[in-house]
Amino acid sequence: MRTFITTLALLCYFQSYAQSVISLEQAAQLTFSNNSTIKAIEHHNSEAQYNRKAAVGLFFPQINIHGAWIHSQKNISIDANPLKGLLKDFNITPLLGLDWSYKIQNRTFSFLEADITIPIFTGGKIIAANRAAKSNQRAISAQGVIESQKIFTTLVNRYFGYILATDAVTVRNDAVKGLKQHLNDILALQENGLATNAEVLYVKYSLSEAESLLNDAIAERATIHKALCTTIGIDTLHKASTNIFIVDKIESLSHFQALAEQNNPQIEYIKEQVNLAKENIAVNRADFSPQIAAIAGGALTQHVTELLPRWAIGIGVNFKLFDGSRREFKYLAAKQTFARVKELETTVEQDIRLLLESLYNNCTSALSHCQSAESSISFAKEYLRMKQIAFDQGVATSTDVVDATLNLARSQIEHLKAAYQFDINLAQLLEASGCSYDFFKYSNSVNKRVISYENN
């Protein structure tokens, strides 16, 4: 029994461990499943869809049913009996003996009525309202894409930020290990009178600085770990399995500009705002036209006078002659709104072109820095190896070894940061192009080069 419980506990541990090792793709799936902003976007899209369906309903007849049961103070009647005194001189005795009152309506009655209104002419208001609802739905959809792509870019930033922090801890730890080993060597030499106290103190000072940098890196990793878990919507993350990467070359700037023209949701959003402003002009223009509708109605009654008709049909016209110039000013305001949004459309397109160029230059610059850092690392490794050999042979000083060790760590950190900047700028470039999820095309490419020092 104890063996079974132990085995079950181990299986649960390894299952939990496997679940906490998350690739970028899995992190994206979890983020879009758990993120409240994404859920709000879905509700907003549904709202716009229902509003569009509601606008279509304006074309259909409007049918209303209403009824009532009424008990009034008294019957409604006409009483002509007081007129009998005026006619008593006439020889109409049989008529004078009759009751000259007529009940028009019982004091208690009920009715159920239905009326139908069919729009015939509204000055284009219904058509404009439907076009506006369609544009609004597209605008909200574009706005949702904008928000979701921002969330994805934030995820990439934090995910690779965590990778960077983890590798930085590894690099700093390796430097501390190297300095500790060198401290042991220099202490052994000091015991034999082959090293001065100043050399020992310099190594101890450098080791203290390296340990401080290591502690800072560990604290930064913990902070970024919390931010990443918050973005993904999980409690903890054991390991992020998608490493920082670079590719030797990306497509030309014109390629991303063409993608942006077709896919950028901000461009799509502002275009739909222009359409909304245009349809708003049409809606306000329709207020200057008469509203014409066909109307029909019928009723089921109980104890209601037969003098009232039971059905009626007709055509109604409504035209507003004067409303204090309210229509005119609203129409002019709608035209100004259209002009304002049209200007913003030009501004947005120009800003996106500038943003694309800036982000593209940042990507190529980061790649260039990566290549430079790789050369620096190759030199730093060889320089450290040579200084270590020279120190062992008594040709180089302890300071040379310490400086070479720290220089290698700096070069590796710069390499990681350059690769990280490439990944972040690539995510931002793809977001500006409207193709954020093409990031996986690069992260899964066979031509990518992983930048990692975790297993070194």
User: What is the per-residue pLDDT for 34?
Assistant: 86
Residue 205, exposed/middle/buried by CB under 10 A (0-12, 13-18, 19+)? exposed
Residue 4 pLDDT exceeds 70:
no
Which range is least confidently modeled, 70-79, 156-165, 423-432? 70-79
Q: How confident is the model at residue 238 (pLDDT cuts 50, 70, 90)?
A: confident
Max CA pair span of the chain: 160
Residue 10 pLDDT exceeds 50:
no
Please give the Cα distance from 425 to 447 (Å, whole number). Answer: 18
User: What is the per-residue pLDDT for 247?
Assistant: 93
User: What is the per-residue pLDDT for 84?
Assistant: 72
- Average pLDDT of span 441-452: 91
Averaged pLDDT of the chain: 89
Q: How confident is the model at residue 256 (pLDDT cuts 50, 70, 90)?
A: very high
- Average pLDDT of span 43-66: 94
What DSSP character marks residue 81?
Answer: G
- Average pLDDT of span 199-216: 95
Q: How confident is the model at residue 5 (pLDDT cuts 50, 70, 90)?
A: very low
Q: How confident is the model at residue 455 (pLDDT cuts 50, 70, 90)?
A: low
Residue 214 pLDDT exceeds 60:
yes
Which one has a higher pLDDT value, 378 or 94? 378
* Alpha carbon distance, N-terminus to C-terminus of the chain: 42
Q: How confident is the model at residue 254 (pLDDT cuts 50, 70, 90)?
A: very high
Please give the Cα distance from 38 to 40 (Å, whole number). Answer: 5
User: What is the per-residue pLDDT for 100?
Assistant: 76
Please give the Cα distance from 171 to 162 (Å, whole number). Answer: 14
What DSSP character marks residue 294?
Answer: E
User: What is the per-residue pLDDT for 14?
Assistant: 36
CA-nearest of 70, 73, 72, 75 to 110 is 70
- Average pLDDT of span 246-253: 92
Q: Could you tell me the domains of the chain?
A: 22-62+124-288+325-450 (1.20.1600.10)
Hey, what are 348's tokens? 């947005």
Which one has a higher pLDDT value, 238 or 143? 143
Residue 230, exposed/middle/buried by CB under 10 A (0-12, 13-18, 19+)? exposed
What are the CA-CA distances from residue 341 to residues 271, 282, 336, 351, 387 (Å)?
9, 16, 9, 15, 66
User: What is the per-residue pLDDT for 203?
Assistant: 94
Q: How confident is the model at residue 7 (pLDDT cuts 50, 70, 90)?
A: very low
- Average pLDDT of span 207-214: 96
User: What is the per-residue pLDDT for 20?
Assistant: 67
Q: How confident is the model at residue 91 (pLDDT cuts 50, 70, 90)?
A: low
User: What is the per-residue pLDDT for 94?
Assistant: 73
Instruction: Report pTM.
Output: 0.82
Q: How confident is the model at residue 361 (pLDDT cuts 50, 70, 90)?
A: very high
Contact 176, 214 (CB under 8 A): yes
User: What is the per-residue pLDDT for 424?
Assistant: 97
Contacts of 115 (CB under 8 A, 6+ apart): 63, 64, 295, 296, 297, 298
Whole-number percent of the chain with pLDDT over 70: 94
pLDDT in tens, 342-354: 999 999 999 999 9
The backbone torsions φ and ψ at residue 113, rounded to the nearest 5 degrees and listed phi first, read -115, 150
Q: How confident is the model at residue 89 (pLDDT cuts 50, 70, 90)?
A: low
Q: How confident is the model at residue 456 (pLDDT cuts 50, 70, 90)?
A: low
Residue 294, exposed/middle/buried by CB under 10 A (0-12, 13-18, 19+)? middle
pLDDT in tens, 290-324: 999 999 999 988 888 888 888 999 999 999 888 88
